Amino acid sequence: MLEIKHLKVKGFETVAVGKDPAANFHAIIAVHSTRLGPSLGGIRMWPYKNEKEALQDVLRLANAMSKKAAISGLQVGGGKAVIIGNPEKEKTPTVLHLMGALIDSLKGQYIAAKDSGIVPEDLNVVSEKTRHVTGTTGKHGGSGDPSLSTAKGVLKGMQAASQVVFGSQNLNNRVVAIQGVGHVGWNLGNLLVKHGANLIVADLQQERAARAQRAWKAEVVPLSRIHRVPADIFAPCALGGVLNAKTIPQLRASIVAGGANNQFLDEERDPYLLMRRNIVHVPDYVLNAGGLIQLVVREVLHQRRVASWINNIQRTVRQVLTESLRDNLPPLIVANRLALEKIGT
Ligand code: NAD
């Protein structure tokens, strides 16, 4: 039986822990803010070591969703869910149904979407227990995988950053190093090739790197080298924490702009290290909002104007980078300032 416990966490509206030991279900939903509207964010399934580790992750991710929605001008708040478990082995229909029941217990305060370890088909199963789900497949009334929209937004942001750094937004013949050619990285690579860019790639999964080599004539480099190859733009599209005290001195790109969430290992220190190296960073939650935009515009607002919302990412990136230069502050600090102004905290 599903047991739900609510935790009091400073700065968060709701934190609900759901457990059903008999079904091997253990999940947490964190609602950071509903000031601008219901909170929306993905469900991540990951083999966290314990509840403490899962709680840390879900709080950090929910907070970032608030900022992402606010800076994108969307009238939704930030929330996130995590399921503790290995998605390859422990993702059963029962687990997904229990997740649906946990979401439903919040009565629309949290609207789910997909994140790592969850695919649109899983959301179809979740939606059998709650209507507060976005990103299900078309047959289930959803708008499906948001990765292409995310990649389109990343491209817009790269163009804006190129305008600021190189004086032209033209990506023709620019060298872009993509770390991770999964959902976002693959769609991004396809768009960049259409814009004439030359690609260097690395991926943990050999066959994905090989596919990029075949499709784009991309140069494949080892995982340990991708962030330090000479390039115009380094695009982290795999995991968080890739910008840190070890990697930042090794970077040889002029711009860092990619879809991965939480790219800095230490958000207090590392944005300043990068700025001191004169490398322009485009804050991840500004750049990778395209997927969220798709879900909100199509499934919450029931409108079709996704492209014009995604185009706005270009304007926001320009604003963030301009204010960053003017105030001599890292772009992430400027973006946080703008987002918090919009949330009204
Ligand atoms: P994904 O799992 O489809 O792709 C990630 C890829 O990175 C995989 O191919 C994986 O093999 C590779 N990888 C893992 N570790 C690596 C390493 N050390 N070096 C190089 N490659 C490595 O995930 P995704 O949906 O493409 O998301 C990528 C990132 O973008 C994540 O941080 C995610 O949170 C973020 N993001 C995704 C979306 C979206 O719409 N999918 C939206 C916003 C943010």
Q: Which of 140, 166, 191 is the last residue of a domain?
A: 140
Q: pLDDT tens digits, residue range 6-50?
A: 999 999 999 999 999 999 999 999 999 999 999 999 999 999 999
CA distance to 151, 186, 275, 320, per residue, from 311 (Å): 12, 20, 26, 15
Query: Which CB contacts under 8 angstroms, 24+ apart, belong to 204-207?
Result: 204/180, 204/238
What pLDDT is attached to residue 343?
Answer: 87
Same structural domain, 115 and 161: no
11: Cα separation from own chain's centroid: 21
Q: What pLDDT band is residue 224 in, cutting at 50, 70 and 90?
A: very high
The count of structural domains within the chain is 2
Same structural domain, 89 and 202: no
Sequence-separated (6 or more) residues with CB below 8 Å from residue 224: none
Q: pLDDT tens digits, residue range 86-145?
A: 999 999 999 999 999 999 999 999 999 999 899 999 999 999 999 999 999 989 988 888
Which ligand 1 atom is the nearest neighbour of the CA of 147?
40
Q: How far is the CA of 185 from the centre of ligand 1 (A)?
A: 7
What pLDDT is attached to residue 221?
Answer: 98
Mutate to test the pocket of ligand 1, among 190, 204, 292 (most ligand atoms within 8 A of CB): 204
**What is the enclosing helix (H) or strand (E) of 93?**
helix 93-104
What pLDDT is attached to residue 141?
Answer: 87
Q: Which of 81, 105, 140 is the last residue of a domain?
A: 140
Same structural domain, 182 and 58: no
Q: Would you state the structure tokens that stand for residue 16, as one six-digit string?
A: 């609900």
345 has a pLDDT exceeding 70: no
300: Cα separation from own chain's centroid: 19
Is 64 a pocket residue for ligand 1 (Cβ < 6 Å)? no
Q: pLDDT tens digits, residue range 51-64?
A: 999 999 999 999 99
Is 144 a pocket residue for ligand 1 (Cβ < 6 Å)? no
Domain range for residue 337?
147-343
Q: How far is the CA of 179 from the centre of ligand 1 (A)?
A: 9
Sequence-separated (6 or more) residues with CB below 8 Å from residue 246: none
Which ligand 1 atom is the nearest neighbour of the CA of 240?
32
Distance CA 107, CA 90 (A): 26
Same structural domain, 152 and 290: yes
Same structural domain, 56 and 105: yes
Q: Residue 312 maps to which CATH number?
A: 3.40.50.720
Same structural domain, 50 and 160: no
Q: How far is the CA of 344 from the centre of ligand 1 (A)?
A: 31
Q: Would you state the structure tokens that stand for residue 139, as one six-digit string?
A: 């047959």
Q: How far is the CA of 198 from the centre of ligand 1 (A)?
A: 20
Q: How far is the CA of 133 from the centre of ligand 1 (A)?
A: 22
Q: pLDDT tens digits, residue range 164-216?
A: 999 999 999 999 999 999 999 999 999 999 999 999 999 999 999 999 999 99
What pLDDT is attached to residue 187?
Answer: 98
Same structural domain, 153 and 251: yes
Q: Residue 57 maps to which CATH number?
A: 3.40.50.10860
Q: pLDDT tens digits, residue range 314-342?
A: 999 999 999 999 999 999 999 999 999 99
Residue of the nearest CA to atom 31 in ligand 1? 260
Mutate to test the pocket of ligand 1, among 234, 237, 265, 306 (most ligand atoms within 8 A of CB): 237
What pLDDT is attached to residue 255?
Answer: 98
73: Cα separation from own chain's centroid: 16
Same structural domain, 71 and 169: no
Same structural domain, 228 and 124: no
The mean predicted confidence, pLDDT, of the chain is 96
List active site positions: 80
Q: pLDDT tens digits, residue range 281-305?
A: 999 999 999 999 999 999 998 888 8
Same structural domain, 125 and 107: yes
What pLDDT is attached to residue 277?
Answer: 97
Is 187 a pocket residue for ligand 1 (Cβ < 6 Å)? no
Same structural domain, 156 and 119: no
Distance CA 125, CA 93 (A): 7
Q: Which of 140, 163, 186 is the last residue of a domain?
A: 140
